[in-house]
């Protein structure tokens, strides 16, 4: 059964509404109540205080389609974009939440009903994981749902593998935590990858679609786990991953939204081969960049704005690689707002501004891009070993506006890596020189600094020099 991404979003929210859930709007990508968080990266973020019992709402069940960005910060999928079938910098997370209302039994039951009845997925393509000691979840999956024991995989704490499953969730070192159960879809043995819990699980054959977190304990400072009086449920399903399944394709980059964006990107860049990886990167990056700007983030040299700037510059570089003549990136905002369906309405309202910001940023960077690339490629041609020295990475950053990850992206394409420590050392030396010279005007620190408690409240058209200024309220 084919379903468009927009149809899936509606079906999910309607299904959980029919199960007594309040439909809640997606919150901003800039977290309102959590200064420790770079960008909203999960559906539960806006409900954090409700889970903690600090905020009371007039419902105990909620559902949402939350826009998320995982670039920079704790969850960073930027380096995966273009390389895996399943990672984006921007994606939408469908979620259902119970605040001390239902628990494991209903959460698992709803997930199964949605997947196998509403979406009519064949049960034998689904594999689930549980936390190693969570016998309760095992019993529900095995006895009530009827999944054979050999398709219920017990998984413990992450042993450090980059994407490997970690089936115990915690908000921080102390506080609410608990086991997870994740649902994977088997895309077929023609695709490389192993079942979850095997060394090959980072392949793209078995793709994780839905994580169900059972908040069950309150971890104390001394490490003891106190059972929560009212356990809660937090779930998240990436809409692009389920769309791939419903549209009969393997990669997220082949779904309706990405087909359109890749086609548009190819047209504005002037490039024919739609399977090119750089087109995927551009199509991915326009989503994070456009939505971040619409949510009030402006390109800058620090904090959130610097992450945005880095993503824009990466996209521009990939377009340049395909031969783009002149600015192109901003032209994708319109097609994006259109193809996002109900999730594109807010973007449409801001379209002109988003385009303007992107165009200015792209224009600025394109002035130094070619020169920087020439220097970088020369350095790579003459490299001794396979690591690019930190001084060169710094020079590209300082003089040509190349964020270190962009330099790394180019180097990686040619089989090299960069000396990150050497870059940091050169940065520190630069900061010291600036301090010695009594120059506090420019902040070269690209560490993530998050301003506490700022609320975006719109744009002023210009600051008098043709630059758009985001307005914040403390
Ligand atoms: P993975 O192991 O594939 O990186 P995850 O375990 O990091 O995923 P969760 O934190 O459990 O993901 O998020 C819940 C769901 O959100 C995932 O099951 C997946 O469907 C989706 N998701 C997570 N990260 C991304 C991403 N970068 N792009 C698209 N969808 C994502
Ligand atoms: Mg991940
Ligand atoms: Mg995972
Ligand atoms: Mg997960």
In this prediction, residue 457 carries a pLDDT of 59
* pLDDT > 90 in the chain, percent: 76
As a whole number of angstroms, the distance between CA 304 and CA 316 comes to 19
The residues facing 226 across adjacent strands are 218
Q: Which residue has the CA at smallest separation from atom 25 of ligand 1? A: 87
Give tens-digit pLDDT for 311-340: 999 999 999 999 999 899 999 999 999 999
Q: What is the largest CA-CA distance in the chain?
A: 71
Between 436 and 463, residue with greater pLDDT: 436
Cβ atoms within 10 A of the Cβ of 115, count? 22
Least trusted range by pLDDT, from 82-91, 255-264, 406-415, 447-456: 447-456
Average pLDDT over residues 218-225: 89
Q: Which two tokens stand for residue 143?
A: 């006895």
- The answer, yes or no, to whether any atom of ligand 1 lies below 6 A from the CB of 70, is yes
Tell me the mean pLDDT in the region 365-381.
Answer: 95
The pLDDT assigned to 162 comes to 46
Cα–Cα distance measured from residue 317 to residue 401, given in angstroms and rounded to the nearest whole number: 12
Residue 402 has pLDDT above 50, yes or no: yes
Rg for the chain (alpha carbons), in Å?
A: 23
Q: How confident is the model at residue 198 (pLDDT cuts 50, 70, 90)?
A: confident
> Residue 193: left if φ>0, alpha if ψ -120 to 50, beta else—which one?
left
pLDDT at 445: 38
Q: What is the Cα–Cα distance from 455 to 458, expressed in whole angstroms? A: 9
Task: Considering only residues 316 and 452, tell me which one the structure prediction assigns the higher pLDDT.
Answer: 316
How many angstroms is it from 238 CA to the middle of ligand 1?
A: 6
Confidence of residue 200 (pLDDT cuts 50, 70, 90): confident
In terms of Cβ atoms closer than 10 Å to its own Cβ (0-12, 13-18, 19+), residue 394 is: buried
Q: Which atom of ligand 1 is nearest to the CA of 70?
A: 27
Beta partners for residue 211, in sequence order: 182, 236
Minimum CA distance residue for ligand 1 atom 26: 87
Write the CA distances from 293 to 26, 73, 167, 229, 375, integer angstroms.
16, 18, 34, 41, 31
Alpha helices in 66-147, H assignment, sequence order: 104-113, 135-139
Decide whether any atom of ligand 1 lies within 6 Å of the 444 Cβ: no
- Give distance in angstroms: CA of 64 to centre of ligand 3: 20
Does the pLDDT value for residue 238 go beyond 90?
yes
| Distance of CA 77 from the midpoint of ligand 2 (Å) | 7
Which segment of 161-170, 248-257, 360-369, 434-443 scores lowest on mean pLDDT? Answer: 434-443
Taking residues 47-63, report their average pLDDT. 92
Buried b (16+ CB within 10 A) or exposed e, 164-188: ebbbbbebeeeebbbbbbbbbbbbe
Q: pLDDT of 1-42, one tens digit each?
A: 999 999 999 999 999 999 999 999 999 999 997 777 899 999
pLDDT at 166: 76
**pLDDT band at 190; cut points 50, 70, 90:** very high
Half-sphere exposure of 342 (CA within 13 A, CB side): 15
pLDDT surpassing 50 at residue 451: no
Cα(219)–Cα(51) distance, integer angstroms: 14
pLDDT tens, residue by residue, 113-144: 999 999 999 999 999 999 999 999 999 999 99
Q: Supply the pLDDT for residue 75.
A: 81
Per-position DSSP letters for 278-319, written without gaps between them: HHHHHHHHHHHHHHHHHTT----SSHHHHHHHHHHHHHHHHH
Question: If we measure between CA atoms, which residue out of 314, 309, 306, 313 comes closest to residue 449?
Answer: 306
Q: Whose CA is nearest to atom 14 of ligand 1?
A: 236
Assign 455 a pLDDT band (cuts: 50, 70, 90): low
d(CA 236, CA 222): 30
ipTM of this complex prediction, to 2 decimal places: 0.99
Closest ligand 1 atom number to CA of residue 242: 20
CB 208 within 8 A of CB 240: no
Range of lowest pLDDT (82-86, 203-207, 462-466): 462-466
Across the range 80-101, mean pLDDT stands at 95
44 in ligand 1 pocket by Cβ < 6 Å?
Answer: no
Over residues 440-444, mean pLDDT: 42
Q: Each residue of 418-431: pLDDT tens digit?
A: 999 999 999 999 88
pLDDT of residue 135: 96
pLDDT at 344 over 60: yes
Does residue 355 sit in helix, strand or coil?
helix
Determine the residue of 91, 128, 164, 237 to mutate for testing ligand 1's pocket, defined as the one with the most ligand atoms within 8 A of the Cβ atom: 91
CA of 232 to the centre of ligand 2 (A): 22
- At 456 the pLDDT is 57
pLDDT at 439 over 60: no
Q: Please indicate whether residue 93, judged by its CB atom, sits closer than 6 Å to ligand 1.
A: yes
Lowest-confidence pick of 48-52, 382-386, 419-423: 48-52
* Residue 103: strand, helix, or coil: coil
Hey, CA dihedral for 221, 224, 225, 227, is it positive or negative?
Answer: negative
- Average pLDDT of the segment spanning 372-378: 96
Flag the least confident range among 98-107, 168-177, 414-423. 168-177
210 CB under 6 A from ligand 1?
Answer: yes
91 lines ligand 1 (CB under 6 A): yes
Higher pLDDT, 206 or 465: 206
Closest CA relative to residue 6, chosen from 349, 246, 295, 266: 246
| Average confidence (pLDDT) over 374-393 | 95
CA of 370 to the centre of ligand 2 (A): 34
237 lines ligand 1 (CB under 6 A): yes
- How big is the CA angle at 331 (ends 325 and 334), to the nearest 5 degrees? 165
Q: Looking at residues 386-411, what average pLDDT do you find?
A: 95
Q: What is the DSSP letter of 144?
A: I
Sign for the CA dihedral angle at 317, 323, 329, 332 comes to: negative
Cβ–ligand 1 distance for 208 under 6 Å, the answer yes
Q: Is 66 in the pocket of ligand 1 (CB under 6 A)?
A: no
């Amino acid at each position: 059964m084919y379903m468009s991404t927009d149809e899936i979003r509606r079906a999910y929210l309607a299904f959980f509404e029919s199960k007594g859930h309040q439909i809640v709007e997606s919150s901003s990508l800039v977290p309102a109540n959590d200064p420790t968080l770079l960008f909203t990266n999960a559906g539960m973020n806006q409900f954090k205080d409700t889970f903690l019992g600090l905020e009371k709402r007039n419902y105990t069940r909620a559902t949402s389609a939350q826009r998320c960005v995982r670039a920079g910060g704790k969850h960073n999928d930027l380096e995966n974009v273009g390389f895996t079938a399943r990672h984006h910098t921007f994606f939408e997370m469908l979620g259902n939440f119970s605040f001390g209302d239902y628990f494991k039994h209903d959460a698992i039951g709803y997930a199964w009903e949605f997947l196998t009845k509403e979406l009519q997925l064949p049960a034998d393509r689904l594999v689930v994981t549980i936390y190693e000691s969570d016998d309760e979840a095992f019993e529900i999956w095995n006895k009530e749902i009827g999944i054979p024991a050999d398709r219920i995989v017990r998984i413990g704490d992450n042993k450090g593998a980059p994407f490997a499953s970690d089936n115990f969730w915690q908000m921080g070192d102390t506080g609410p935590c608990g086991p997870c159960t994740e649902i994977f879809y088997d895309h077929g043995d023609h695709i490389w990858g192993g079942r979850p819990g095997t060394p090959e699980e980072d392949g793209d054959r078995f793709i994780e679609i839905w994580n169900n977190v059972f908040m069950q304990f309150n971890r104390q400072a001394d490490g003891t786990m106190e059972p929560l009086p009212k356990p809660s449920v937090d779930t998240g399903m990436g809409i692009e991953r389920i769309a791939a399944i419903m549209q009969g394709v393997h990669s997220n980059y082949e779904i309706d939204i990405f087909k359109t964006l890749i086609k548009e990107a190819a047209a504005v860049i002037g490039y024919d081969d739609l399977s090119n990886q750089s087109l995927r990167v551009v199509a991915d990056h326009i989503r994070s960049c456009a939505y971040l700007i619409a949510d009030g983030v402006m390109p800058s040299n620090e904090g959130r704005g610097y992450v945005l700037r880095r993503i824009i510059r990466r996209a521009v570089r990939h377009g340049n690689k395909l031969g783009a003549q002149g600015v192109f990136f901003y032209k994708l905002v319109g097609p994006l707002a259109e193809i996002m369906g109900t999730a594109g309405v807010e973007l449409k309202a801001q379209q002109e501004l988003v385009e303007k910001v992107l165009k200015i940023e792209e224009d600025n960077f394109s002035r130094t891009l070619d020169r920087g690339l020439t220097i970088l490629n020369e350095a790579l041609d003459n490299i001794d070993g396979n690591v690019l020295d930190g001084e060169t990475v710094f020079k590209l950053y300082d003089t040509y506006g190349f964020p270190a990850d962009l330099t790394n992206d180019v180097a990686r394409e040619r089989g090299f890596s960069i000396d990150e420590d050497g870059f940091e050392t050169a940065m520190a030396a630069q900061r010291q020189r600036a301090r010695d010279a009594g120059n506090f005007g420019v902040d070269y620190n690209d560490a993530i600094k998050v301003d506490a408690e700022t609320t975006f409240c719109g744009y002023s058209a210009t600051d008098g020099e043709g630059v758009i200024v985001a307005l914040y309220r403390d």
